[in-house]
């Protein structure tokens, strides 16, 4: 007897959201069913993260995967575009951190402009995880990159007004960050739309954890978000999801313990890639439309993973 795939019909649909400009632009979302089951919508995409300064806190094996280009953000971005499977680039402006290098917003904006000028791929710009500083930084980045259809990653409860208004005015997508909580994710989406940001220009950053470190809570949250969006036609949850898995995956002991510290665990770089790929794949199965990784090999594996599942 031939196999017949059971198909479940839903009343809702995930918004389509284009990021970037020109031939390299990518479209997120558009699906009317659960991940990899409906055959509809746009295939998920993978991006690679770079920093605006030398990655002092990255594992040596991760830095070595790129070589000297990590000393120049624009050169690093160009290398990622030309030599990896990245479909977009995520620039994290960590040097703006008041508890770190504390560079001015203006200095970081110049770096963002140089990176954008060096690439054709869509650009996602993340702040330094300081809500007050990011409220100023992302606004100035938004203005400097006006019309480039970048992603401001991400607005939080303490700065969503300034970031949302700026992104809306300058033609960008605005990502709303919540801490693995469906209610907080929905609330932030509502607040952004009340500012005047169209639902089609909002991306959700619902958070994640590395696999094996409480990921089941991430999985259940993503499931609830997608089922509400599709099954209940909840328009406040029909935004595409973008997830940065690199920080979590490369922050657990399986990835950070060196071969001298844990010789029985084998090659450190391979362990880090395995954690990153496992986490990214799990997020995609849960409903992420885009994942951000750090290692070029992770991007290669995940892009092939998506291709094999989409068919």
Structural tokens at position 127: 């702040």
Mean per-residue pLDDT, 21-44: 93
Band (7; pLDDT cuts 50, 70, 90): confident
Would you list the DSSP string of 259-291? TTT-GGG--HHHHHHHHHHHHHHHHHHHT-SEE
Least confidently predicted of 33-42, 56-65, 81-90, 162-171:
33-42
The reported pLDDT for the residue numbered 196 is 97
Mean per-residue pLDDT, 137-144: 98
Give me the chain's average pLDDT, please: 97
The reported pLDDT for the residue numbered 143 is 98
Band (3; pLDDT cuts 50, 70, 90): low
Per DSSP, 199 falls in state G
The reported pLDDT for the residue numbered 26 is 98
Per DSSP, 155 falls in state E
Residue 175 Cα distances to 94, 103, 124, 191, 211, angstroms: 18, 23, 10, 12, 23
The reported pLDDT for the residue numbered 294 is 99
- pLDDT exceeds 70 at position 175: yes
- pLDDT exceeds 70 at position 23: yes
The reported pLDDT for the residue numbered 78 is 99
Give percent of the chain above pLDDT 70.
98
Q: How far apart are CA 279 and CA 144, in angstroms?
A: 33
Cα-to-chain-centroid distance, residue 112: 17
263's CB contacts (< 8 A; 6+ apart) are: none
Tens digit of each residue's pLDDT (9 = 90 or more) over 52-80 = 999 999 999 999 999 999 999 999 999 99
Tens digit of each residue's pLDDT (9 = 90 or more) over 209-263 = 999 999 999 999 999 999 999 999 999 999 999 999 999 999 999 999 999 999 9
User: How many other C-beta atoms are found inside a 10 Å radius of the C-beta of residue 308?
Assistant: 9
**For the chain, how far is it from start to end, CA to CA, in angstroms?**
22
The reported pLDDT for the residue numbered 4 is 72
Side-chain-side CA neighbours of 194 within 13 Å: the count stands at 8
Map tokens 């932030």 to a residue. 188
The reported pLDDT for the residue numbered 2 is 78
The reported pLDDT for the residue numbered 85 is 98
> What are the structural domains, with CATH classification, of the chain?
19-310 (3.20.20.20)
Q: For the whole prediction, is pTM greater than 0.95?
A: yes
């Amino acid at each position: 007897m031939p196999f017949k795939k059971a198909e479940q019909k839903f009343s809702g649909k995930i918004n389509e959201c284009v990021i970037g400009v020109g031939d390299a632009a990518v479209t997120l979302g558009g699906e009317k069913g659960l991940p990899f089951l409906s055959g509809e919508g746009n295939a998920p995409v993978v991006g690679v993260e770079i920093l605006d300064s030398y990655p002092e806190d990255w594992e040596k094996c991760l830095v070595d995967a790129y070589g000297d280009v990590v000393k120049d953000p624009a050169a690093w971005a160009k290398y990622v575009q030309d030599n990896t499977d990245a479909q977009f680039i995520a620039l994290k402006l960590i040097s703006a951190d008041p508890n770190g290098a504390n560079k001015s917003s203006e200095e970081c904006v110049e770096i963002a402009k140089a990176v954008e000028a060096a690439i054709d791929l869509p650009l996602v710009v993340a702040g330094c995880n300081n809500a007050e500083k990011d409220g100023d930084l992302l606004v100035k980045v938004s203005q400097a990159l006006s019309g480039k259809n970048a992603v401001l990653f991400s607005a939080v409860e303490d700065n969503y007004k300034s970031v949302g208004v700026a992104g809306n005015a300058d033609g960008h997508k605005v990502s709303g960050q919540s801490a693995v909580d469906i209610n907080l994710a929905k609330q932030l989406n509502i607040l952004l739309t009340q500012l005047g940001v169209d639902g089609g220009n909002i991306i959700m950053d619902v958070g994640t954890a590395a696999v094996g470190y409480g990921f089941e809570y991430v999985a259940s949250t993503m499931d609830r978000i997608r089922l509400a969006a599709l099954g209940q036609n909840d328009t406040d949850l029909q935004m595409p999801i973008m997830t940065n898995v690199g920080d979590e995956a490369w922050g657990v002991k399986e990835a950070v313990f060196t071969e001298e510290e844990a010789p029985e665990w084998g090659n450190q770089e391979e362990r880090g890639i395995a954690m990153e790929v496992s986490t990214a794949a799990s997020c995609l199965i849960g409903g992420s439309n885009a994942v951000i990784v750090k290692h070029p090999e992770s991007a290669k594996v995940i892009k092939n993973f998506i291709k094999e599942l989409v068919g």
